[in-house]
């Protein structure tokens, strides 16, 4: 009986991972007509930042929030790294230095949207990070409507659509995190109440 339970559990996890990887591979950018009030990008790579700033330039949102910025990174450094003029940064880009993980990103995003009266946001992050980001956003009270805008890191996917070895490892790790988030949300577990206000300790968003 114990062996059956182990095998069944393993089959469930393998099947769930296969569906997760397939869903991530199938993600695509929303149509240009998916206009939103604002744009939020979760830090973790220059590719994400460039895409988010490009969407801002195109008028896909009125303001951009960069959530999870390293405290040692200035607005000027972001402008240089993304070839963006400071006028655009000063005008329409807000930097969030508080979020240290995806939970923090979700909380900062909801607060920012509330402050600006935004009801619909484009969420820019890596494709593998979209499922967990949506779960965390959905777990925040009064969160705005989120339209995912996935960015596919080239080093994680082969030309035939299959993940690279690095991509496979990353997908497995991310799937485990998604399962942990689902378990936490389903039980109503409050990490901060357990002394885990971990998004306020040193670290970076993922």
- pLDDT at 32 (0 to 100): 63
Which has the closest alpha carbon to 55: 24, 26, 21, 31?
31
Residues 175-199 pLDDT 10s: 999 999 999 988 875 544 443 433 3
Asked if residue 111 is part of any domain, the answer here is yes
Domain that holds residue 31: 26-153
Asked if residue 125 is part of any domain, the answer here is yes
pTM exceeding 0.75: yes
Asked if residue 167 is part of any domain, the answer here is no
- CATH code for the domain in which residue 36 is found: 3.40.50.620
Number of folded domains that form the chain: 1
Contacting residues for 186 by C-beta, under 8 A, at least 6 apart: none
Asked if residue 148 is part of any domain, the answer here is yes
Asked if residue 129 is part of any domain, the answer here is yes
Residues 147-181 pLDDT 10s: 999 998 877 888 777 888 888 998 999 999 999 99
Asked if residue 43 is part of any domain, the answer here is yes
> How far apart are the C-alpha atoms of 101 and 198, rounded to whole Å?
8
Asked if residue 107 is part of any domain, the answer here is yes
> How far apart are the C-alpha atoms of 11 and 169, rounded to whole Å?
19
> How far apart are the C-alpha atoms of 195 and 126, rounded to whole Å?
29
Asked if residue 65 is part of any domain, the answer here is yes
């Amino acid at each position: 009986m114990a062996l059956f339970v182990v095998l069944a559990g393993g089959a469930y996890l393998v099947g769930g991972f296969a569906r997760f990887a397939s869903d991530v591979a199938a993600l695509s950018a929303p149509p240009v007509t998916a206009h939103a009030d604002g744009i939020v990008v979760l830090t973790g790579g220059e590719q994400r930042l460039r895409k988010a700033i490009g969407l801002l330039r195109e008028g896909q949102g009125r303001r951009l929030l960069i959530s999870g910025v390293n405290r040692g990174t200035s607005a000027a450094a972001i402008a240089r790294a993304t070839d963006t003029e400071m006028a655009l940064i000063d005008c329409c880009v807000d930097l969030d230095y508080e979020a240290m993980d995806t939970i923090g990103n979700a909380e900062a995003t909801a607060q920012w949207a509330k402050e600006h009266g935004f009801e619909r946001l484009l969420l820019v992050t890596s494709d593998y990070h979209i499922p967990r980001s949506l779960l965390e956003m959905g777990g925040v009270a009064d969160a705005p409507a989120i339209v995912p805008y996935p960015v596919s890191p080239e080093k994680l996917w082969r030309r035939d659509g299959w993940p690279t070895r690095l991509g496979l490892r990353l997908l497995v790790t991310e799937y485990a995190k998604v399962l942990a988030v689902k378990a936490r949300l389903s039980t109503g577990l409050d990490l901060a109440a357990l002394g885990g206000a971990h998004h306020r300790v040193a670290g970076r968003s993922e």
